[in-house]
Amino acid sequence: MQPTLTESAATVFTVLAGAGVATRPQLAVRAGLSKPTVSTAVAELEAAGLAARTGTSHGNTGRSAALYGLGPAAGCVLAVDLGSTHTEVGGCSLDGTVLVSRTTAAARTAARARSGAYDAPIPGARARSGAYDANSGATGPRAAVHAALVALAGVRVRAAVIAVPDVAPVHGGSGPRAGTSRVADAATPRVADAVASLALPPEIPVRIENNVNCAALTELHEGAARGRDSFGYLQVGYGIGLGIVVGGQVLRGANGAAGEIARLPYPWAEGRESVHEGLETYAGAGSLVRRVAAGWDPGDGPCPRTAEELFALAAQGRPGAGAFVTAHAREVGRLAAAVAAVLDPGLIVLGGGIGANPQLLPGVRAELARLSWPTEVVSSMAGESGTVAGAARLAVACGVQTVTGGDRAGH
């Protein structure tokens, strides 16, 4: 059992985790503590194996100072992107250094899925709240998680964050451990089943988070929204979802369902009944491919079977494909206008397999400008691993708090 840290040692550990490496004078400045207090705190951390000397820093004046980093007892954290069509797992130390990365064997299929390239609709697969297969077979999520844990053998896993395409639980608060829960407390039964199927060791604290929220965090800290404290991350792929960042924090809502734009009433017109999650059905990649198949002119050559093929043809200058892409950009622009009308975020980042395609930008910007007030629209910079990167950031915060709170932090 880890001994309870003094307040000063906990503060220094938190600063050291954020810095990666630092000298004691640097730690004193960043922690706002006196040098003697930091020296005592570092000694306490070294004794517990939570900090270790890593080298020497030489200054311009010829003076040298010991460099410290995290010690072997600091442990690591696990981030899992439990997607609708793939699983990506990352393990990293509490200073954010990546230690291991694993994906399901269906990586190629996953890449096609993230780009909206579906040969046929996948029922229930959605950006935020769709069903997913928690396959525990040799190439499934459990195998990917197990492979990562084997690679991390001998290192204590302080916390795990699992990103799911579904509503995530909310247990109060907005700090790094908000939403941390046992599997039984998951927001929906399918989330609980999917997380349970991973068979994580019971001593690992688990936090469940929505996958679009995780991707939004990556955009905030490392991507297209860096330097902005409020924006909307609009993910458009097979499904649709919205990550809302206000004041540098992800907005989750009372039920953990903030950003579930699939629930916007659609269609909303006289004489037409709104359909449950009809907007997602209409705006997703599957519906786009079906519209292309129904309206394709044989004179334009073979009909593209996937959204990926459609965008490739449009990029080649094929007018028929370009017309469908332009029309879909207008639809996404209308969705962006709905987001702007409610949130006035100032910035909308387009992500997902379809949304991140730069061919959409002109049409989305034009339609949004026609229907709403000025709002900047840019393409995602997070890439395919944006979700697991955001989950890893949350996991590090949970892991640090687990260390500084000792075993009292609980699950």
DSSP3 helix / strand / coil % (the chain, rounded to 5): 45, 20, 40
Least-confidence region, from 135-149, 262-276, 352-366 = 135-149
Number of H helices, E strands in the chain: 14, 13
* Residues 207 and 253 both lie in one domain: no
Comparing 5-14, 138-147, 296-305, which segment has the lowest mean pLDDT?
138-147
C-alpha 9: how far from its chain's center?
31
Per the DSSP assignment, residues forming a β-bridge with 98 are: 92
Residue 134 and residue 55 share a domain:
no
Domain match, 41 and 54 both? yes
Task: Report CA dihedral (27, 33, 37, 41) to the nearest 10 degrees.
Answer: -50
The whole-angstrom separation of Cα 220 and Cα 226 is 5
Q: Residue 172: pLDDT above 60?
A: no
Q: 235 and 189 in one domain?
A: no
**pLDDT of amino acid 66:** 94
The predicted structure's pLDDT at residue 61: 64
Same domain, 125 and 203: yes
The residues near 24 (Cβ < 8 Å, ≥ 6 apart) are: 35, 38, 39, 42, 65, 66, 68
User: What is the chain's alpha carbon radius of gyration, rounded to the nearest angstrom?
Assistant: 23
Query: 67 with 81, same domain?
Result: no
* DSSP summary character for residue 104: -
Q: Are residues 202 and 318 in the same domain?
A: no
Tell me the whole-structure pTM to 2 decimals: 0.86
Does the pLDDT of residue 179 top 70, yes or no? Answer: no
Query: Vertex 334, ends 235 and 348: CA angle to 5°?
Result: 45
Tally Cβ neighbours within 10 Å of residue 411.
Answer: 16
Of the CA atoms within 13 Å of residue 329, those in its CB half-sphere come to 23
For residues 70 and 47, what is the distance between their CA atoms, to the nearest angstrom? 12
Closest CA to 383 of 362, 359, 353: 353
Q: How far apart are the C-alpha atoms of 281 and 238, rounded to whole Å?
A: 9
CB 126 within 8 A of CB 84: yes
**What tens digit of pLDDT does each residue of 215-272 get?**
999 999 999 999 999 999 999 988 899 999 999 999 999 988 999 999 999 999 899 9
How many Cβ atoms sit within 10 Å of the Cβ of residue 329? 22
Domain span including residue 262: 225-382
d(CA 223, CA 255): 27
Beta-carbon contacts of 45 under 8 Å, excluding residues fewer than 6 positions away, are 5, 9, 12, 13, 16, 51, 71
CB 166, CB 134: distance < 8 Å? no
Q: What is the CATH number of the domain that holds 146?
A: 3.30.420
The pLDDT mean for the chain works out to: 86
Query: 241 and 198 in one domain?
Result: no
Residue 270 is inside which H or E element, if any?
none
- In this structure, what CATH number is given to the domain that contains residue 358? 3.30.420.40
Q: Which of 54-63, 146-155, 267-276, 303-312 has the lowest mean pLDDT?
A: 54-63
- Does 343 fall in a domain? yes
Whether the predicted pLDDT of 128 surpasses 60? no
Q: Which residues contact 264 (CB under 8 A, 6 or more apart)?
A: 279, 338
